[in-house]
Amino acid sequence: MKIIMVGEAANHRDALAAGLPAECAFLALPREAAHSGEHDAAIAADDVLITLRFSRPRGEMPAFRLLHVPGAGLDGIALDTLPPSATVCNVFEHEIPIAEYVLLTMLDSEIRLAEMRRRFVTQNWSEAYRHRVQHGEIHGKTIGLIGMGRIARAIAQRAKAFGMRTIATDPQGGVLPGLIDDFAPPGELDRLLGQADFLVIACPLTEATRGMIGAGQLRRMKPSAVLINVSRAPIVEEGALFAALKDGTIGAAVLDVWYRYPSAADDEVAPADYPFHELPNVVCTPHSCAWTTNLAVRRYGFIAGNIRRLIAGEPLLNVVRAPSAGRP
């Protein structure tokens, strides 16, 4: 059995190896191996693949034993063409930094610390003091959560500590008793949109959620509302969002996830068709809200634990697709 790490995952070999027996063999494949069969001869039926993305046309997928996604999202994995013998697992551990990022952006939208610092001028201190500007606070504000998974729960816990009111919905249904103040069933999304001072997108990208926030939904939001997307960009229609921000339909947006990503090491693409970065009411960050110094340690420690279970013949954790001899 080899452990094959594709693309960016290979950068974390040391973190993974620290939790595995010394005799484990590793192979790094380039990012292009996620979508090209050029390196498939190196993949054997007993191997473990670690990659965020993996797709092949039907009938061209190599056989392997386990595909472990080093993240939560599965939209980069062609589940329908994977070999039937393969198990697929994912890993979380990102809810802590993402929740901190969301709280930071909400606090910054109200307190605006950078602007406060700019107004502090020692040469004219008396005037700066006399003309200090009032700022807002998140206490008493309503946060609307679309999605009720690990990220949403971590956000709701922290928002409660700041005295915020939380209303949530989930495309799959479900309730979080004691953690949220109100639950809007999927058919009552408009009610959530009309109440939210901050709308946080925290659900997976599926065919049901793709484009679920469009022009109609944005018009139902408060004109002062801030949309924060830490999930997947296509959940919000790109053109509708840009127009709503440009014409003031909503107050602002914080965007950490994007509509296009590079697929190869030398691939240069724009993050979106519209220049969101040029709008004064948009904060753009490069899909880095979860990218902390501790994230890889936690994630690859979890993956190492699953590989140890695989070697020992024990049940795996976070199985999102079990092997099936009857699957086409």
Residue 232 bears catalytic tag: yes
Distance (Å, whole) CA 101 – CA 80: 34
Could you say which DSSP state residue 245 is in? H
- Tell me, yes or no, if 298 is annotated catalytic: no
Coil, strand, or helix at residue 153?
helix
CB 247 within 8 A of CB 223: no
CA dist., res. 163 & res. 179, Å (int): 12
Question: Does the annotation mark 38 as catalytic?
Answer: no
Q: Which one is catalytic: 95, 232, 237, 299?
A: 232
Spatial CB neighbours of 303, under 8 Å, sequence gap ≥ 6: 16, 50, 68, 70, 91
Given 287, 298, 309, 321, the catalytic residue: 287
Distance CA 106, CA 165 (A): 13
| Element of type H or E holding 127 | helix 125-130
Alpha carbon separation from 205 to 75, 135, 151, 202, 275 (Å, rounded): 7, 35, 14, 9, 23
> Is beta strand 2-6 parallel, antiparallel or unpaired with respect to 48-50?
parallel
Q: Which residues are catalytic?
A: 232, 268, 287
